[in-house]
Amino acid sequence: MSNSKLDQIIPPEIKNDEFYTLIKRISEEEDIKTVLEIGSSSGEGSTEALVAGLRNNPNQPILFCMEVSKTRFTELQKRYQTDSFVKCYNISSISIEQFPDKNEIIEFYNTIPTNLNHYPLAQILGWLNQDIEYVKKNNVSENGIKKIKEENNIEYFDLVLIDGSEFTGKVEFAEVYGAKIIALDDINSFKNYQTWKKLCTDSNYALIAQNFHVRNGYAVFQRQTNPHLNYQSVKSAVEIIEGFMVPGQEEYLFNKIKSLPTDAVIVEIGSYKGRSTVAMAYACVGTQRKIFCIDTWDGNDSDFLARNFFDIWQENIQKNNLEQYVEPLQGQSHDILSRWSELTNEKKIDFIFIDGSHEYLDVLRDFELSYPLVKEGGWIAFHDVVQTWPGPERVWYNTAQFYLTNHEYSSTLACGRKVSSLYTSAQSLPIHFFTIVLNGEPFIRYHIEVFKQLSFKWHWHIIEGVADLKHDTAWSLQLGGQITNQFHRNGRSNDGTSEYLDELSRLYPDNVTVYRKPDGVFWNGKQEMVNAPLTEIQEECLLWQVDVDELWTVEQLCVGRQMFINNPEKTAAFYWCWYFVGGNLIISTRYCYGENPNQEWLRTWRYKPGAVWLAHEPPRLAESLPNGEWRDVASISPFLHSETEQLGLVFQHFGYTTPEQLRFKEQYYGYKNAISSWEALQVQTKFPVLLREYFPWVGDDTMVDAAQSIGVVPIAKREEFNAGWRFLTPKEVQVEAAKVLQKPSPKIIIDGVFFQLYQTGIARVWRSLLEEWVEDGFAQHLIVLDRAGMVPKISGIRYRAVPLYDYNNTDADREMLQQVCDAEGADLFISTYYTTPLSTPSVFMAYDLIPEFLGWDLNNPMWIEKHYGIRQACAYIAISRNTAVDLEKFFPNIPLESITIAHPGVKAPFSQASIQEINNFRNKYGITKPYFILVGAGGGYKNTILFLKAFAQLFSKQGFEIVCTGSGLVLEPKYRDYTSGSVVHMLQLTDEELRVAYSGAVALVYPSQYEGFGLPLLEAMACGCPVITCPNASISEVAGEAALYVNDNDVNGLANALCDIQKPEIRNSLIANGLEQARKFSWSNMATRVRSALIDATLLRLNLKDINLIIFPDWSKPEESLNSDLERVLAAIATHADRSRTTLLIDTSSISEEDANLFLSGVAMNLFMQEDLDITEEFVISLVGKLGQIQWQALLPRLKARIVLECESQEAIGEAGAETVPISKLIP
């Protein structure tokens, strides 16, 4: 007798559950005649359900039962011996050779998570071996399915239940494929998982029932009566209907509906004219599926030019003969979903497509209302899950996806399967808001309108009154802070806030509680105020501080709550805020005043009864520990600023926006002159500016900018006529944001890294350029990266803080720079000193080629990065022609004509100083004799030794002194003998002092062997200082005829020059010529040339050639008309004699690049198929995209002609200013 476990009688698995009931119903009601059960065991489970149902089926079907175990077969046969329609077989469904090998099992186990993973792999492999050995040792007949079919002349069974061995399901499925109904048990294990996956995507079968949560899951599929109906056969009928689907989404919906049970209930929210409705309805043909379409069919004013779409929708349904599958429910989705059970007799939904209003709260409410109506395992899909539609995108990513599994995507369509267990915990997290207030007008009126829209439990605790200057706010006493009767009445508000709070308490008694001290009594500091509500909060919740002037949106509160639900281990949350210092002025920098992440802005805590506030400024909520100590809740596991910002949780703080606020801060906190300082800021017109220039209590580099400049729409707006305030609705914010987000293009990032490394001439170049660009308006296109606060702050320049540069970690720096470029949407990057991002196009500014020219070690990290920057660059700027020539010499792949030459300039303070100023300078530094000045003097190529040797030869050298200025200068001992008897002044001078030093000097001596430009030469000449120098590199390019030149190794020649320079005739001539020469160089000229080079670099992607033509298609026109236009243009250029010298520019300002490329690919394919014309071979096609005005100004002069189209966008032509571009005669 066998000792195998297969010979043991086991309890039935399918017994009195929903699968058992379903099997019984199918057996009784379906039109079937032959039934096969694979794996009948002893007949107590599924066999019993089959037999019970078949007994009542009028067709009198035959049931074929297969069981491999001899013991169980004996019981099976005995149990149904009186039922003649039951045929029992002791047989193996497949042959031994068809069993899977162990490697297949191992791969499945390791790659596909199923309930099989609840067991050790070794145990599962043991089961496999047991099954194979049983068939071998017991001489069980094999290939049972084939034998039954052959003996009974059956081609396809009507009903098959596959529930045999764990390892035979795949082969069994192949044998029974074609059956009218296939029932699978254990779809969440090896037995039938793969079969289930195949049938789900098989167009010949439709899923009619499924449940993953009954044991190891089951599914039932029915062969389609119209198996050949696929999307391609109905595509033209669907896509002729106007709609907003992305290509491929209609087919996705069609296939998704086909995969549902044949009696599925489908809901569509937002049907418009019926494109998606028809796609889904065609998948219902021949089934009992039903689509309920919910829509007002009335559109809205902002998104639709026309209204009232119902007749068009209905006509499209009728035209396709789909009325029996579709039922309209006209009305608002929230109302209909609320009455769903009443309207549909409590039908459970298999699939819902949410595509109605795209406002965040509407989408969220559609999801919340529909979720309970969808059956377990049903599907919920969202349309337009994309950044351009933030409502659906945020609901999906911030909420819905966490309650759905098996996520699927079709472009902007997202879909997932309902799992109720994921949703239940979300319903039990209330929020308790708290606000301390004194004189809260006008902002106090904002919050209740937000809270009223929340769909979860909430309560608002408002603590009103005067907090004595104690504890957390005692610091203000040192500044002169005091409590005066001007801002309170008997310890309460005197601006109408008290009366408003009384009204709130009356209107919302279950949601609003107001806490006050008795008349005339102050609170014992703010700490007592915030602790007041805690004794009333007797439930675990989120505790959310909402200061009266801190404005949160409904969406932010919902997302913030969801954030805590999704992360139960988190105990608190820090946030950034937009800190307003005027109605439209905002702090634009971080890690500074008002944006200190160490304490600001901690606003949300996970609260448990018994917790207390240990402090309010900064806030510290503490819970008691078993040892009697207190633990700061926020210190356990808080969300950090970056995490909350990623979810859009940046609130608006109107802290300095009304005179009343400033008057209070001046008195209560002791901020002296707060009102007058604030008023001065309000009339400023050039931004950004340093806040410390207006608020004397601010000591750091906090910058202030106009809100619209950084893309922020203030929720609170002051009315123009009555000086009151109103609060924008989410829709109004969205409309305003669309305007604000039209930021200047292009956007260029400048890495201010040089200011971290040095403060020499290159720093002067960039500071001067930035100042010029503020004046000419180009600064609006720039963002300067500030390495740890080292970049000078210039009003009108926007900054972004980034980490210090480290030559030992350049790869990480490039990655960081690329992340910044991506975040800012940068079109171009330029570094002040050789840094580069990974992929954003960069421009290289060459200052000199000294290391290359003098043969320095180019393995030095600085020069490695320099060469990397040169190789990466798409365009080049040089500060002198000589530097440009050297750049080409050392990098021959860079043509000289491609390098923009932009000479630095000179301006204030560099000008001639007065005699009085010179005398004051000499007295300050103890200079008693005439002096020569050396700037940046040192060894090496600066060649200071030449001057020292020449100076030593002067007969009268003791009658002169020497002034050396520059950073880190030291006169080395070996040089001191040359200056014996003369005083050498090593000075660090400001620009103003340097100006005077130049003006009073006998001469600037500048014996350099190489200069990229030579800024000190220019500065000295502008100050009326004669110059002695060497005619090397760029020096003569700068000094012209206004200098005495000596060779860089001619000691005697320099000694003679030092004498000649004292002769009045020579000296006066050099001064006059120097002043004239200096006037040839200006920072404004350099700024203009660099600006033009940068703008041109943003156009390099267009691949402009000798002949540049442009077209402006109207992309809203019908596809056929556009096709004709474009085919005509492309064919004409492709066959033109000058095609290899031609670039065709196509305006795509009103269409995405992806869609334009897709369209053009179709046009190209048509030309190739119809005319055997390959348009990709010789001429260039460039998509213009969205250009800014300054880019169009640079591009238009380079256009030879505009080709006129039948379908042409006059609006795009006007925006580009292209009306004056000549019309092309290329196209007849």
Residue 501 belongs to domain with CATH number:
3.90.550
Residue 988 included in any domain? yes
- HSE-CB for 167 with a 13 A CA cutoff: 24
Q: What stretches of 684-757 adopt beta strand conformation (E)?
A: 689-690, 703-706, 716-718, 725-727, 748-751
What sign does the CA torsion over 1095, 1098, 1103, 1107 have?
A: negative
Whether residue 623 sits in one domain with residue 487: yes
Closest C-alpha to 851, from 867, 838, 835: 867
Whether residue 283 sits in one domain with residue 200: no
**Alpha carbons 699 and 826: distance in angstroms, whole number:** 31
H or E segment to which residue 1181 belongs: strand 1180-1183
Residue 154 included in any domain? yes
**Alpha carbons 600 and 605: distance in angstroms, whole number:** 14
Residue 799 included in any domain? yes
What is the model's pLDDT at position 1228?
41
Q: What three-state secondary structure class fits 401?
A: helix
H or E segment to which residue 802 belongs: strand 799-802
What is the model's pLDDT at position 398?
85
Q: What are the residues whose beta carbons fall under 8 Å from the beta carbon of 38, sequence distance 6 or more?
A: 66, 93, 145, 160, 161, 162, 163, 164, 168, 172
DSSP secondary structure, 716-741, as one string: EEE-TTT--EEE--HHHHHHHHHHHT
- Which residue bears the tokens 């200071």? 944
Which segments of the chain have a pLDDT < 50?
1, 1227-1228
Residue 367 belongs to domain with CATH number:
3.40.50.150
Question: Helix axis angle, 944-953 relative to 1051-1060, nearest 10°?
Answer: 70
Whether residue 149 sits in one domain with residue 247: no
H or E segment to which residue 957 belongs: none
- The model's pTM is 0.65
- Which residue bears the tokens 């990513």? 397
Q: Which two tokens stand for residue 807?
A: 């030559």
- Which residue bears the tokens 């100076």? 951
DSSP-assigned letter for residue 116: G
SS3 per-residue string spanning 1108-1124:
EEEECECCCCCHHHHHH
Whether residue 436 sits in one domain with residue 412: no
Q: Are 426 and 563 in contact (CB under 8 A)?
A: no
| Residue environment code for 121-160, b if the CB has 16+ CB neighbours within 10 A, otherwise e | eeebeebbeebeebbeebebebbbbeebbeeeebeebbbb
pLDDT digits (tens, 9 = 90+) for 862-912: 999 999 999 999 999 999 999 999 999 999 999 999 999 999 999 889 999
- The domain total for the chain is 6
What sign does the CA torsion over 530, 534, 536, 541 have?
A: positive
**Alpha carbons 316 and 278: distance in angstroms, whole number:** 8
The alpha carbons of the chain give a radius of gyration, in whole angstroms, of 41
Whether residue 646 sits in one domain with residue 576: yes
Q: Show the domain range for 345.
A: 233-425
Whether residue 1148 sits in one domain with residue 1061: no
Residue 742 included in any domain? no
Whether residue 237 sits in one domain with residue 191: no
**Alpha carbons 1090 and 1092: distance in angstroms, whole number:** 5
Residue 197's identity, in one-letter code, is K
Whether residue 1157 sits in one domain with residue 1025: no
DSSP secondary structure, 283-352, as one string: TTTTS--EEEEEE-S---TTT-SS---HHHHHHHHHHTT-GGGEEEEES-HHHHHHTHHHHHTSPPEEEE
Q: Which two tokens stand for residue 942?
A: 């600066």
Residue 910 included in any domain? no
End residue of a domain, out of 1030, 1051, 1081: 1081
End residue of a domain, out of 376, 406, 425: 425
**Alpha carbons 1130 and 325: distance in angstroms, whole number:** 46
**Alpha carbons 42 and 39: distance in angstroms, whole number:** 9
Whether residue 311 sits in one domain with residue 185: no
Q: Which two tokens stand for residue 1057?
A: 């020059």
Closest C-alpha to 36, from 73, 89, 110, 77: 89
Q: What are the residues whose beta carbons fall under 8 Å from the beta carbon of 989, sequence distance 6 or more?
A: 965, 997
- HSE-CB for 952 with a 13 A CA cutoff: 12
Q: Are 219 and 199 in contact (CB under 8 A)?
A: yes
CA trace torsion 322, 326, 331, 334 (10° rounding): -140
Whether residue 259 sits in one domain with residue 215: no
Whether residue 239 sits in one domain with residue 173: no
- Around Cβ 395, how many Cβ atoms within 10 Å? 29
Q: Which two tokens stand for residue 682?
A: 């309000």
Residue 522 included in any domain? yes
Between the two ends of the chain, the Cα-to-Cα distance in Å is: 96
Distance of CA 562 to the CA centre of its chain: 20
Residue 1145 included in any domain? yes
Q: Are 307 and 225 in contact (CB under 8 A)?
A: no
Whether residue 928 sits in one domain with residue 805: no
* Greatest C-alpha distance within the chain: 139
Residue 719 included in any domain? no
